[in-house]
Amino acid sequence: MTDSLIETLRGIVGAAHVLDGAQDMAPYLNDWRGRYHGRARAVVRPQDAPEVAAVVSACAAAGVPMVPQGGNTGLCGGATPLADGAAVVISLGRMNRIRALDTGNDTLTVEAGCTLAAVQEAAAAAGRLFPLALASEGSCMIGGNLSTNAGGVQVLRYGNTRDLVLGLEVVLADGRIWDGLRGLRKDNTGYDLKQLFIGAEGTLGIVTAAVLKLFPAIRSRATAWVAVPDPAAAVRLLGLLRANCGDRVSAFEIVGRAALELVLKHIPGVRDPLTGAPAWTVLVELSDPAGDAPLEAQLEALLATACDQGLASDAALAASGAQAQALWALRESISEAQRIEGISIKHDVSVPVSRIAEFLDRAGGALARRWPDVRVVAFGHIGDGNLHYNLSKAVAGDNAAFIARTGEVNRIVHDLVCELGGSISAEHGLGQLKRDEILHYKSALEIELMLRIKHALDPQGLMNPGKVLRPEGG
């Protein structure tokens, strides 16, 4: 980067918010998992959309690539600059204002640098719910949630992030600001432009603010940790609960034994809610806006029915909010426990709910035939068909050799996902991790259409290059 561009950026955001020293930039150059390590010419920290626009305009004029970054909690390297050091990282953490609250319209307008927890808290203070819920909600930012179309544990009831957004403000690749901050639930006036930027991982423009949907606050909950004979029984249990409770089923998470064992090994203060070390368990939550909804009795009765039908063998029902939090801590600590344990080959896949059991059976069998001592850490949002399917070896030396076979492992897992009508990225995005892998599973026409959109909105190819799509598209 030329000195003149650095000085231009300092003039836009202030010298204190242009970082170009190695130590100052270091936190912005590595991904959360420690898998990707990039370099950057500078890290710029704008405070509002006009400053973002001015930074983008300056970089575009100089032909300098840009990498937008929120809380840097992604799992696919989408917010990590490439190793060539050519890019400027645009960190949005200073843009953390709540711009507007409209309780009559049930909307909240927030800036991209607000943490998800701050958005949840703002909604709760108004007696409302913003339902996106992730383990990283204290540090992930809403701009990153939007850019990756984050899922989380309540997709079953409320949908993915794109279902929770009514309007966006976006800085385009040439520095212009598109103001699409409309709180309308019906707007049938042409292309729904906001959907282009949700899930695009910053490759088409930089999301700077959003109008989010709010829902009635939850005042009744019932939570249980349930042992099931196998994943097929878990799917049938989900059907039983939904048939009787409808949308009151707000979360339904499956946890394989290997995943729980890592949590028990690495996370202090947790304990197994059940005896007998069941191979498969599910975390169930019912919720309702009514404060007097008899959810605990309803859940207890349905679990008794499930036991009679052979769909469950044991259950621990939370008797207090603290007990419910303890159950959720087991589920939400799995990713952290895996990080402590070491590198694994991670898969974030989705298949039709009806084929989850088939996927787990066939994938596990195929992998065990090739690598008999493979450790399968399987868990996730079984209610919407999204499984986190992570593979490793228990011995560090063996695991290093296994990680080197990632391509072979991916082909087994992803080919089966494709055969079952699924997706190789359910909620984490493509980033750098799956940029090349997706070429095996999207048609040539789909890739062509994605490239056309990319070229139309970012003709210089400066917005988060090397993510989602190969620069040359093949």
Quick check: helix, strand or coil at residue 208? strand
CATH assignment of 98-216, given 3.40.50.300, 3.30.465.10, 3.30.930.10, 3.40.50.2300? 3.30.465.10
Whole-Å CA distances, 215 to 103, 105, 127, 129, 322 = 10, 10, 9, 5, 24
Q: Take residue 62 and report the two structure tokens written for it.
A: 């100089």
What pTM did the predictor assign?
A: 0.91
Quick check: helix, strand or coil at residue 325? helix
Distance of alpha carbon 142 from alpha carbon 144, whole angstroms: 5
Domain ranges within the chain, ordered by starting residue: 3-91, 98-216, 220-335, 342-419
Distance of alpha carbon 164 from alpha carbon 152, whole angstroms: 12
Q: Looking at the domain covering 3-91, what would its CATH class be?
A: alpha beta
User: Within 13 Å, how many C-alpha atoms sit on residue 119's CB side?
Assistant: 34
8 A C-beta contact, residue 211 and residue 107: yes
8 A C-beta contact, residue 201 and residue 428: no
pLDDT score at 471: 66
One DSSP character per residue, 259-289 reads HHHHHHHHSTT---SSSS--SEEEEEEEEES
pLDDT score at 473: 43
pLDDT score at 32: 82
Task: Count Cβ atoms below 10 Å from residue 86 Cβ, excluding itself.
Answer: 17
pLDDT digits (tens, 9 = 90+) for 365-407: 999 999 999 999 999 999 899 999 999 999 988 999 999 999 9
User: Within 13 Å, how many C-alpha atoms sit on residue 177's CB side?
Assistant: 13
Please return the burial class of 372, using the count of CB atoms within 10 Å of its CB with bins 0-12, 13-18 and 19+. exposed
* Domain made up of 342-419: CATH architecture: 2-Layer Sandwich (3.30)
One DSSP character per residue, 390-420 reads EEE-SSHHHHHHHHTTHHHHHHHHHHHHHHT
Q: Do domains 220-335 and 342-419 have the same CATH topology?
A: yes
Task: For residue 306, give the nearest of 281, 325, 323, 330 by alpha carbon.
Answer: 281
Question: Which stretches in the chain have pLDDT values below 70?
Answer: 1-2, 471-474
Determine the CATH number of domain 220-335.
Answer: 3.30.70.2190
Distance of alpha carbon 410 from alpha carbon 404, whole angstroms: 11
Distance of alpha carbon 109 from alpha carbon 96, whole angstroms: 11
293 phi and psi, to 5 degrees?
-65, 130
Enumerate the β-bridge partners of residue 37. Answer: 30
Q: Take residue 467 and report the two structure tokens written for it.
A: 């993510």
